[in-house]
């Protein structure tokens, strides 16, 4: 099973890993796109006023221009430790044991805007770039990533993909049509059984789900197998519309 995660706008600064090495990232077939995105981000950082506009930075966030300028030379952290926020706080990767963290490294890709999907334990620097950005000299990230990421995922030939990304990041690399996959929605149900999508609890529930998977490390190769595992784990997963499943929370 391969699990796709969204990144987070909030990130830990610093790190103790060596600077970014593109050759050590998952999905090496994305090297050309990664190089182009990083070069465009560095060039943008040489023009602080333009960078602030493109990146939609407030006056308090202008330090992010320098963060992007140092994206190739800054220290790194494992991607799963770099990101913070509701989903990553609920996952609590730092508190998982070594076996669970290795499982994350083998089974989880986090979809970074400047680097595409990277392994959960791949070392990445801090950066500022959102999925909907259009960087001068590069254009829209969808144009850069969508076809290349889909092709790279196809080369992996995963037996099953659980897609926990936001729709903005799905657009940057849809799962290949020939791969068995489900897109997860987090919903609540009323007394009549009608469902309603959630926002804040969406991210928290995905983090809780991923933590449970990392701790139990089941072998899952189909949507039905995922639902059976969830029942045993005390989670409620229901079949949704074609290609989707619903994680039901109270």
Listed by start position, the domains of the chain span 2-248
CB 213 within 8 A of CB 207: no
Q: How many Å apart are CA 46 and CA 65, to the nearest integer?
A: 8
* Residue 153 pLDDT > 90: yes
Would you tell me how many other CB atoms lie within 10 Å of the CB of residue 183?
19
- Token digits of residue 118: 């990277």
- Whether the predicted pLDDT of 149 surpasses 90: yes
User: Which residue shows structure tokens 């089941």?
Assistant: 218
* Residue 190 confidence (pLDDT): 72
**Which of the four pLDDT bands, split at 50, 70 and 90, describes residue 20?**
very high
H-only helix segments in 108-237: 141-156, 167-170, 200-216, 223-232
Burial class (CB in 10 A: 0-12, 13-18, 19+), 29: middle
Model confidence at 194, pLDDT cuts 50, 70, 90, reads low
Using CA atoms, how far apart are residues 16 and 137, in angstroms rounded to an integer?
Answer: 32
Per-residue tokens: 4: 């796709």
pLDDT band at 128 (very low <50, low <70, confident <90, very high): very high
pLDDT at 193 over 70: no
Q: How confident is the model at residue 201 (pLDDT cuts 50, 70, 90)?
A: confident
Residue 51 reports pLDDT greater than 80: yes
Pull the structure tokens for residue 146: 């969508």
Strands 181-189 and 161-163: parallel
Question: Confidence class of residue 250 from pLDDT cuts 50, 70 and 90?
Answer: confident
- Residue 200 has a pLDDT of 65
**Nearest CA-CA partner of 38 in 74, 83, 77, 82:** 74
pTM value is 0.95
Tokens 């009549």 — which residue? 192
Please, what's the largest Cα pairwise distance for the chain? 56
pLDDT given at position 192: 61
């Amino acid at each position: 099973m391969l699990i796709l995660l969204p990144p987070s706008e909030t990130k830990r600064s610093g790190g103790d890993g060596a600077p970014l090495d593109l050759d050590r990232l998952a999905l090496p077939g994305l090297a050309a796109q990664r190089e182009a995105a990083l070069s465009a981000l560095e060039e943008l950082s040489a023009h602080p006023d333009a960078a602030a506009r493109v990146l939609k930075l407030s006056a308090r966030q202008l330090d992010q221009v320098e963060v992007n300028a140092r994206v190739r030379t800054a220290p790194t952290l494992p991607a799963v430790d770099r990101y913070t926020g509701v989903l990553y706080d609920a996952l609590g990767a730092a508190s998982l044991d070594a076996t669970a963290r290795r499982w994350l490294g083998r089974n989880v890709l986090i979809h970074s805007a400047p680097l595409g999907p990277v392994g959960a334990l791949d070392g990445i620097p801090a950066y500022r770039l959102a999925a909907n950005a259009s960087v001068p000299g590069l254009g829209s990230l969808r144009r850069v990533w969508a076809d290349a990421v889909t092709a790279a995922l196809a080369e992996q030939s995963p037996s099953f993909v659980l897609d926990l990304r936001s729709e903005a990041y799905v657009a940057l690399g849809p799962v290949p049509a020939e791969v068995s996959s489900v897109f997860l929605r987090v919903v609540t149900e009323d007394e009549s059984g009608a469902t309603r999508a959630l926002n804040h609890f969406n991210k928290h529930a995905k983090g809780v789900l991923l933590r449970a998977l990392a701790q139990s490390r089941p072998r899952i190769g189909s949507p039905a197998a995922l639902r059976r595992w969830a029942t045993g784990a005390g989670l409620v997963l229901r079949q949704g519309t074609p290609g989707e499943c619903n994680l039901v929370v109270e």
